[in-house]
Amino acid sequence: MSPVILSAAGVALVLDDSGPGLPRVRHFGAGLGPVAAAGLLPALPGPAPRLLPAQGDGWYGRPGLSGGRDGEHWPVRWTVDGIDVTAEPGSGGSVTVTASDARAGLRLTSELVMDGGGLVRMRHTVTNAAASPYRVAGLVCVLPVPARAGELLDFTGRWALEKVPQRGAFGQGVWSRENRRGRTGHDATGLLVAGTEGFGFRRGEVWAVHAGWSGDHVHYAERLAEGVALLGAGELLEPGEVVLAEGERYSTPWVYFTWSGGGLDDASARLHGHLRARPLPVRPVTLNNWEATYFDHGLDRLLELADLAAAAGIERFVLDDGWFRHRRHDRAGLGDWYVDEGVWPDGLHPLADRVRKLGMQFGLWFEPEMVNPDSDLAREHPDWMLGHAERLPPPQRHQQVLDLARPEAYAYLLERLDTLVGEYALDYIKWDHNRDIAEPVHDGVPGVHAQTLATYRLLDELRARHPGLEIESCSSGGARVDYGVLARTDRVWTSDSNDALDRQHIQRWTGLLVPPERMGCHVGAPRDHVTGRSVPLAFRAATALFGHMGVEWDLTAASQEERDELATWIALHKRLRPVLHAGRVVRADLSDPAELLHGVVLPERAVFAYAQVSSRLAIEPGPLRLPGLDPGAEYEVRVAGPVPEGVLMPQWASASDQGPVRLTGAVLGELGLPAPALRPASALVIELERV
């Protein structure tokens, strides 16, 4: 047969199904043009991994499938039973391969889908076809990368400082990032990237992989002495976690692969396209009361906060932790999802009614997967906690994990959430998850796999019952940011830190995976409650502007001048929202790490931010070369929003009787604009409109 080719948006994936065994992946990368579309390819020599590499195929690296049966071991040698291809050259398509090994007693289904933006997602399903149980130890999805991919980029981090990049050489052997936290993790790599030497946002060739899974997972890169290299990812299973009886099956999560010939921005755009295929309503500017009032839920104070929020132009009010029974601090009450009658004698209705009368939506915070031992729920149902009853896991944050895979616990949560969403006609839920999962045991076996699937079912069922409900994934900040949870939620809380200096970097790198409209980005208080650092309001607002903007600040303690300035920024965000939440994200590769330049571009409009995050080494800044514009188009260029205090602005940014400066995209991209000499913790927002 001719090679199987999927192609779209300048990307091609070539499968060679000649010979025995599963198809080999001969190419994943740049499009191959009309010759490939016609199936006219030369012989494809050299080693290439199969869809699920195994030793029987001559692969001596990490196996695609690992597992076995008690008392016997038969290495798998797949025989292909069928290949179903649905593909249109240039538009992507899908390939489904079915295979079996009668002696090993296994069947396999492998699915590959390329969307119209060139993003590839892959999933394997293994079925036990024998009478004895089969223990799945691992099942991963892989695609090859060429020898010229000599560098690796991935990410680490911690609470309130997520997505810290780390780079190194892609040498021989395995570079593996394994997560056993029971959630995606603050230190999760998110996106493992291989690229040509010196790749950046706008330069170099890159390949990347992401596992769309919210439980334990692995991302890895491997290079063998035979000259083959690949990227892989999947769920990370504990021994005995998945045991298949006859006829039972296990599927990997969807694993996403992206390629770019023009740096990280193009690879990121393909990922954003996948999430944007599920449309969102207009993203309302949101106020969350947590950093404003914490556990102080005095009604008068919250009503005043709501009044000031509406006056500033805020469109959604979210009541955070502390509204339910026994919750006057973080040591009690989790699991008791009833409105606290002592604090709220009339329920939440007085607040919800005022919020809606002011024209805002109303949202509520939950942490459904957790339970405090000091709660009615834990006292009445101690067996509902995830772990051995006689030796519970070590507590974190005074919390244990509720075993959602237990039907009674699941039913309780569904009833409570469903009832409260209905009673208060909630527009929005902030769904939190504030601890790692340690020593998880469900029915005597490791429990993260079952817990993650149960969480997904709960989210899916709640949304099915309330189709208009929006849900935010929060996990002590950005510890659950992945395409598994984002398939079921509408945004992520990017970090518990609202320090705008740290947020510039956190949002920059989280934004590789998540488009701006799905990243919660809030204006915090003048002094950040995590770092203790103080930065000007203009910088805090300019940082929050480029996401799903919100406020996390006690406006009752702000001056009228501060509230007026905040209202100006909120109005600017609303005006620019059609660009910020739909355009292509671009980032410049600047030589000085003290400066950041990024933007969002549509064919007719663009918005950029030039941010100074520390002191420059050079006396004068370099020119602002704006990436991503149409070279042949002419643009009007103007400053949007307040100018940073004490900054001498260049001539192009000053008001002129002749009107805004007009320049072509080629000039703006190659020569750039003279940059103002900003102070640290300041930013300039630039707006462009095509003439």
Chain segment 435-444, per-residue pLDDT in tens: 999 999 999 9
- How many helices (H) and strands (E) the chain has is answered by 13, 37
Total count of residues recorded for the chain: 691
Are the CB atoms for 3 and 17 separated by under 8 Å?
yes
Q: How far is CA 529 from CA 67, 252, 438, 474, 519, in A?
A: 48, 40, 28, 18, 20
Checking if the pLDDT of 2 tops 90, the result is: no
Query: pTM above 0.95?
Result: yes
Are the CB atoms for 305 and 539 separated by under 8 Å?
no
Beta strands in 146-228 (DSSP E): 151-158, 161-169, 173-179, 192-195, 206-211, 217-223
Q: Which entry of 265, 320, 336, 432 is annotated as an active-site residue? A: 432
* pLDDT tier at 643, thresholds 50, 70, 90: confident
Are the CB atoms for 232 and 209 separated by under 8 Å?
yes
Helix (H, G, I), strand (E, B) or coil at 373: coil
**Crossing angle between the packed helical segments 448-465 and 407-423, to the nearest 10 degrees:** 30
Chain segment 67-88, per-residue pLDDT in tens: 999 988 899 999 999 999 999 8
Q: Give dist(CA 617, CA 592) in Å, integer.
A: 8
Query: Which tokens hold the place of 658?
Result: 């002749």
Q: Whose CA is closest to 291, among 496, 453, 105, 102?
A: 496
Q: Give dist(CA 185, CA 172) in Å, integer.
A: 27
| Residues ≥6 apart with Cβ < 8 Å to 437 | 181, 182, 183, 386, 393, 401, 448, 451
Checking if the pLDDT of 47 tops 80, the result is: no
Whether 374 is catalytic? no
- Adjacent-strand bridge partners of 14: 5, 27
Give the HSE-up count for residue 10: Cα atoms under 13 Å, Cβ half-sphere: 10
The proportion of the chain whose per-residue pLDDT surpasses 90, expressed as a percent, equals 92
Whether 330 is catalytic? no
Q: Give dist(CA 570, CA 545) in Å, integer.
A: 8
* pLDDT tier at 42, thresholds 50, 70, 90: low
pLDDT of residue 46: 62
Q: Give dist(CA 583, CA 490) in Å, integer.
A: 18
Q: Give dist(CA 358, CA 625) in Å, integer.
A: 43
Query: Which tokens hold the place of 457?
Result: 């079912």
DSSP state of 241: S
Number of Cβ within 10 Å of residue 654's Cβ equals 11
Q: How far is CA 81 from CA 102, 252, 345, in A?
A: 12, 20, 65
Q: Which entry of 101, 496, 502, 528 is annotated as an active-site residue? A: 496
The torsion of the CA quartet 181, 183, 186, 188, rounded to 10 degrees, works out to 80
Chain segment 545-602, per-residue pLDDT in tens: 999 999 999 999 999 999 999 999 999 999 999 999 999 999 999 999 999 999 999 9
Are the CB atoms for 6 and 89 separated by under 8 Å?
no
Chain segment 485-498, per-residue pLDDT in tens: 999 999 999 999 99
Are the CB atoms for 545 and 572 separated by under 8 Å?
yes
